[in-house]
Structure 1
Amino acid sequence: MRQLTALDAQFLNVESATTTAHVAGLAILDPADGAVTRDALARLLLDRMHLSPALSLRLVPVPFGLDHPYWAADPGFDIANHLFETVLPEPGDQRRLAEEVARIHARRLDRAHPLWEMHLIRGLAGGLVAVYTKVHHAAIDGVTGAETLAALLDLAPGDRRASASRAGATVVPLRAPAGTRGRSDQGSGRGADQGSGRSAGQGSDEGPGLARMLAGAAVRNATQPVRALRSAVRAAADLDAIPLVSTLPGAGLISRTARFVSGDRHERPEVPRLAAPRTPFNGPVSAERRVAFGSVPLKDVKSVAKANGISVNDVVMTLCASALRAWLVERAALPEEPLVAAVPVAVRGGGGRDGVGNHISAIVAPLPTNVAGVRERLRETGAAMRAAKRRFAQAPASWLEDLCSVLPAPVTALATPALFRLASVAFPPVNIIVSNVPGPQFPLYLCGGRVLSYYPLSVVSDVGGGLNITCFSYDGMLDFGVVACPERVDDVWELLGHLRAALDELLDLDRA
């Protein structure tokens, strides 16, 4: 049992009638012998839940919202509240699957239970099946999400007992068994028979108790001014690198003064002006979502990176810049200024915090959508990302947590949705959030079925923009998941097509 941090709680606070704050993944599987069933998934989950604490903990709110909630074991855990089955109508193609996933992705998680769901989706063309899993961002970040994924996956189809404890406790550092190779280019209702199951080893601790919660809330609210001052000083040290705020007069002077007062003598590299221009992506989001997904060969992305002396992530950011530019040009909506992108970064130290919660920050950088030439856009993207990384390396990794800690818990809980909606209309801090998550380059298995692709799906919100692009490298491919609000982006599949075209354009440059 432990209390949520200010950053964890902020992911709860942002939720509203139009905003959800869970992260998700869509796995496409070849079920082989048909072993990927709801019953098999239930057995697997109940057997391995102890490897991922986020799956068995529920929220315990503090009365009247006086403090951040707590995590506690759910003594009444029932797998039927989390595992569902759906059959797609014919023809069971990608578009039908995306429509079903978008519908599920738009629904908020039930806070009366541990904050996750898994959906087995059958009826796909070619006899394939899909498994969509979502977990609230208050419970996991990129590292704990990878740990959760690793806990459920095996290295071989018959290795049903292989677990994260034996496979390295995280997907990313897993090593391929001898002889494995990367994959070739691969082209909701609540179902019946939802039998209940109880997770073995669940604790009986239902929370810290009313008296303890109220006493803790009283102490923390009494000391809030002191903690807020510390957080404000730490955040002010990098005021000139925070989106929107950095454009205010005197931001640089305030940053230098805050660093001097706090004794921070590290020189900060200069960063470009981070003012997000107005785009169709920015504005209040609706409660609906649209989803698109697809893959490109990772070897092609690495080839472009090697030929131009930049990182794979720089190429990913260039692909996004090119796709966004093409989409905006078609709608006569391309701003003269570069877009501003936020790139989440895991800053978790060794061991984490019991496998639950967030240790994340963000790199914010201009995305040169205003540059017409492909090679020049690639070069400027690489330079912008290098500058942003240098600045990030010099700044405290806690700036996002510090910003969330400035106001008392009751105030942030009440004010966040309204402030986010106001920001979307008056002054959006960023245009888009882009994530690139490295994964294993060998096949993995779920209940004996081979995972062919794994498409990550994330959050859109009033403040972060109505479009999110996330990619995951797996088994020789780079799998893209695109989530959008339909009022902000009218065709997500078109945007995905532009991503593929952008890679072809870069490859043609290197061949010329």
Structure 2
Amino acid sequence: MRQLSALDAQFLNFETETNVANIAGLSILDGPLTREELVRLVRHRSASVAPLRQRMMSVPFGLDHPYWVQDDTIDLDYHVRELALPAPGDDAQLGEQVARLHARRLDRGHPLWEMYLIHGLQGGRTGLYVKLHHAAIDGMMGADVLAAFMDLGPSECPSGEEPADAPEAEHGPETVEMLVRTAARLVTNPAHLLRFLVLAAPRLDEIPIVSRMPGAVPVSRATRRLSRWLGGGDEVPELPRLTVPRTPFNGPVSAHRRFAFVDLPLDDVKRVKNAFGVSVNDVVMTLAATALRRWLIEHDALPDEPLVAGVPFSLRDVGADAPGNQVTLMITSLDTQIADPRERLQAVHKAMGRIKDRFNLASARWLRHLSESMPAALTGLADRAALSLISQTTPPVNLIVSNVPGPQIPLYVCGRRLLAQYPVSVVTDASGGLNITAFSYNGRIAVGIVADRKMVPDVWALTAHLKDALEELKTLTPSS
């Protein structure tokens, strides 16, 4: 039994009919796979994947955050589903089907996950789409969940027997116990608020929305100087004041999504990285900036100033397997306004270096303390009010861009080789109607692009622009 953290609960609180907090992965397998085989695999491996075995238990009257409690049984007839694409089963049809599945909210009466086996793909391939709620996992943990169903070699699917080490069912707390726990949390709220004030005051310039309030940046700068004078330590890099420009993919999102995906050769990305002395992540961010620049020019909507991107940073320590969300969002410029690709790459490298240096000097954990400083009954109201305000005003970012490193060896699912693993992420009123997430696997970078259906109807154009952007960078040299 584990209680949701305040950050986990935020992903429940902001969810509406249009703002849906699903994160997912689309696996492409070489060869056919039956639902019976997949059910046996899930039954066998689910003992080691806690989010698959847990459902939510609410606290009476919403006085505190819900609890995760173990389900006595997993209803695999409900959770594991299958469908087939009509001929010819091409990528566009697959993207359309995944977009429909991804836009649907998960039923909170069950453990918050669904798995779809997708038949009929061209070339005899099979798709496996797995989605979970963001309240249960973050992106890094989501990759671990998917990895639990994969093998290092072409092993056969397990038998139909239950795993010997299946955990005992763990029931939730009684109502009285939940209320006692709630009272104890209320007592500790002031301590969390104090920690938030101590941690957040020097970092007001990186908190979305707050950073744009009058006086936030001077207070942040003065507090950092005072802290250095009192306790020493390295100087934290200044962050530029970023104005979020208007784009076609900002504003209230609809209930419908588009999804497109593309593979890029990791070796080509590394060649660009080595030639210019930057990181793989810098190259990926530059590819996103270039693709967005070309798309915005096509739609006569390129702003004169840079876009503002949210970049997720993991708070997990190396080797740690802490449950729930362990992630924060850093804000950076994405220099779509720069015409020269060489200069654009260097500008992105400089901007990413600034936020990485700042994060490494003082990992941003203020959001967790802010969330925990408020009574849970008020947090939900505050979250929904903030989202409503953002949807009617300027959002804190234009879009989310993320790059997650993955295994560089071939993996298998029930003996079928994993050809590609595409991330499928979240778009909201606050984060923008476009999300570009990359995941590297076995020498390729798989990019999944989720967009609001009305804002970016031609989402596949961005995949073509990403390919062209990489070809452009490959032809450049630092001195040419």
> Does TM, normalized by the shorter one, top 0.5?
yes
Q: Deviations over 1:138-166 (max 9, x none)?
A: 111233222212211011113656xxxxx
Aligned to 1:81: 78
CA distance in 2, matches of 1:268, 1:342: 20
Aligned to 2:393: 426
| 1:215 aligns with one of 170, 174, 180 | 180
CA distance in 2, matches of 1:407, 1:470: 31
Root-mean-square deviation (CA), in Å?
2.2
CA distance in 1, matches of 2:20, 2:74: 23
* Pair 1:400–1:463, CA change in 2 (3 A): same
Gaps of 5+ in 1: 162-194
Aligned to 2:406: 439
* Pair 1:504–1:421, CA change in 2 (3 A): farther
Alignment of structure 1 residues 100-499 onto 2, 5 Å: 100-158=97-155, 160=157, 201-256=166-221, 258-259=223-224, 260=226, 265-266=232-233, 267-350=235-318, 352=320, 356-499=323-466
CA distance in 2, matches of 1:67, 1:257: 36
Q: CA deviation at 1:216?
A: 1.3
Does structure 2 conserve the Cα–Cα contact (< 8 Å) formed by 1:47 and 1:200? no
CA distance in 1, matches of 2:170, 2:48: 18
* Pair 1:248–1:315, CA change in 2 (3 A): same
CA distance in 2, matches of 1:241, 1:251: 10
Which amino acid in the other structure matches residue 215 of structure 1? Answer: V
* Pair 1:80–1:202, CA change in 2 (3 A): farther
Which amino acid in the other structure matches residue 344 of structure 1? Answer: P
* TM-score normalised by length of structure 1: 0.88
Gaps of 5+ in 2: none
Question: What SS does the aligned partner of 1:120 have?
Answer: strand
CA distance in 1, matches of 2:372, 2:164: 35
CA distance in 1, matches of 2:189, 2:206: 25
Q: CA deviation at 1:350?
A: 4.8
Does structure 1 conserve the Cα–Cα contact (< 8 Å) formed by 2:293 and 2:336? yes
Does structure 1 conserve the Cα–Cα contact (< 8 Å) formed by 2:37 and 2:157? no
* Pair 1:240–1:199, CA change in 2 (3 A): farther
CA distance in 2, matches of 1:101, 1:200: 34
CA distance in 1, matches of 2:27, 2:214: 47
CA distance in 2, matches of 1:261, 1:507: 45
Which amino acid in the other structure matches residue 166 of structure 2? Answer: G
CA distance in 2, matches of 1:344, 1:477: 21
* Pair 1:478–1:350, CA change in 2 (3 A): closer
Aligned to 1:173: none
Question: What SS does the aligned partner of 1:138 have?
Answer: coil
Does structure 2 conserve the Cα–Cα contact (< 8 Å) formed by 1:120 and 1:130? yes
* Pair 1:12–1:364, CA change in 2 (3 A): same
Question: What SS does the aligned partner of 1:26 have?
Answer: strand
* Pair 1:284–1:60, CA change in 2 (3 A): same
Q: Deviations over 1:384-428 (max 9, x none)?
A: 100111111122331232343343211221332342132133121
Does structure 1 conserve the Cα–Cα contact (< 8 Å) formed by 2:193 and 2:370? no
Q: CA deviation at 1:448?
A: 0.9
* Pair 1:265–1:12, CA change in 2 (3 A): farther
Q: Deviations over 1:350-406 (max 9, x none)?
A: 5545x5311112222111111111111011000110011111112233123234334
Does structure 2 conserve the Cα–Cα contact (< 8 Å) formed by 1:296 and 1:500? yes
CA distance in 2, matches of 1:25, 1:264: 45
Does structure 1 conserve the Cα–Cα contact (< 8 Å) formed by 2:47 and 2:163? no
* Pair 1:230–1:84, CA change in 2 (3 A): same
* Pair 1:303–1:470, CA change in 2 (3 A): same
CA distance in 1, matches of 2:74, 2:53: 7
* Pair 1:393–1:461, CA change in 2 (3 A): same
Q: Identity over the aligned pairs, expressed in percent?
A: 53
Aligned to 1:48: 45
CA distance in 2, matches of 1:20, 1:54: 18
Q: Deviations over 1:419-439 (max 9, x none)?
A: 213213312111111111111
Aligned to 2:21: 21
CA distance in 2, matches of 1:510, 1:5: 48
Question: What SS does the aligned partner of 2:217 have?
Answer: helix
Q: CA deviation at 1:440?
A: 1.4
CA distance in 1, matches of 2:257, 2:231: 44
Does structure 2 conserve the Cα–Cα contact (< 8 Å) formed by 1:79 and 1:198? no
Question: What SS does the aligned partner of 1:17 have?
Answer: coil
Question: What SS does the aligned partner of 1:114 have?
Answer: coil
Does structure 1 conserve the Cα–Cα contact (< 8 Å) formed by 2:315 and 2:363? no
* Pair 1:277–1:421, CA change in 2 (3 A): same
* Pair 1:486–1:199, CA change in 2 (3 A): farther
Alignment of structure 1 residues 91-106 onto 2, 5 Å: 91-106=88-103
* Pair 1:122–1:45, CA change in 2 (3 A): same
CA distance in 2, matches of 1:471, 1:388: 19
